[in-house]
Amino acid sequence: MGKMSEMASEVEEQIPVHEEFFLCGGVETQIIKCGPWTNLFDEQGVSKPKQLIFIIPGNPGLSPFYVPFAKALYSLMKSRFPVWIISHAGFSVTPKNKKILTAPQESSAQKIEDIYGLNGQIEHKIAFLRAHVPKDVKLIFIGHSVGSYIALHVMSRAPELPVVHTFLLFPTIERISESPNGKFATPFLCWFRYMLYATSYLLLKPCPEIIKSFLVHKTLEQMNFKSELPLTDILQPFCLANAAYLGSQEMMRIVKRDDDIIKELLPKLTFYYGKTDGWCPLKYYEDIKKDFPEGSIYLCEKGIPHAFVLHSNQEMATIVADWINNRLPRK
């Protein structure tokens, strides 16, 4: 088992990973791309991939946290399809040594109202996909946590997008504020949010970048998480404020499950719930399973936690790759 893990990590180290920044909806947006394809509009003929696996993170899931998962998935898919991770609007700041690139199909300059809120984040993903993905490239969505809610609404609002299937991992798509973690988080995010803003700006704004990098490095070391891309955005007051704002909207707006959307899209959806998930407890799994008995709705039997990107990337990637390779219709 140890040798297999070492071999997998050696293969993953060779996978090309590109970090790019674009304006999308008038906001700087970080895109991390696994695989040799960077501009799908440039690719022609045999080299052009037929599908794109598109990861929509949770909150405050910064894109670099998902890189090990994306690389493991890319490897398990035999390097056939690119795997892209999009940051949420306002969750990343372009480093001084990076250039903000122009979208292949420039429609992304148009501003989106309340882009840092829940509705704006949905429109942000739609704007990106329309500007960056050709219409003949099929899409496979992977939504994690609130990314599942966003993925569902992207599919519903933009039915012209050629989405083949969507995998909803540990989906926070209903009653978040009633969940065990939500009961704790709601007061902080909804009532004390402005105190959090002020504290983060007072403590972190004057802090030199080198100190922030050191603090992030030490924290990740304690968590036993290796990141090949910088994660200093986690200590940027601007990014923290936007994560808190999105979190407060999740608590207030994600209440009733969108059964009409689920019913309409059900053949294209796979749900994966955790047994001990503080954000979407077992009862939520039991309820949706009862209401949609014909759906592909699974309960994790492997003890994978909600924040799988920290320590369970290989296990989660193996499950998703198995679904894609063996259960989806061949196109």
Q: How far are the Cα atoms of 31, 48, 65 from residue 83, in angstroms, in the given order?
A: 10, 14, 14
Token representation of residue 43:
């690719």
Q: Give the residues across from 83 on adjacent strands.
A: 34, 53
Dig out the tokens for 307 from the structure: 């924040």
| Spatial contact of 277 and 306, defined as CB atoms under 8 Å apart | yes
| Neighbouring C-beta atoms of residue 276, cutoff 10 Å | 11
From the list 324, 318, 322, 305, the residue with the least C-alpha distance to 72 is 318
Q: Which residues contact 191 (CB under 8 A, 6 or more apart)?
A: none
Q: How far apart are CA 285 and CA 298, in angstroms?
A: 8
CA distance 317 to 323: 10
| Dihedrals phi, psi of 19, to nearest 5 degrees | -105, 125
Instruction: Please say whether the beta carbons of 274 and 179 come within 8 A.
Output: no
Which sequence positions are flagged as catalytic? 145, 277, 306
CB neighbours of 225 closer than 8 A, spacing ≥ 6? 65, 310, 311
> For residue 298, how many other CB atoms are within 10 A of its CB?
14
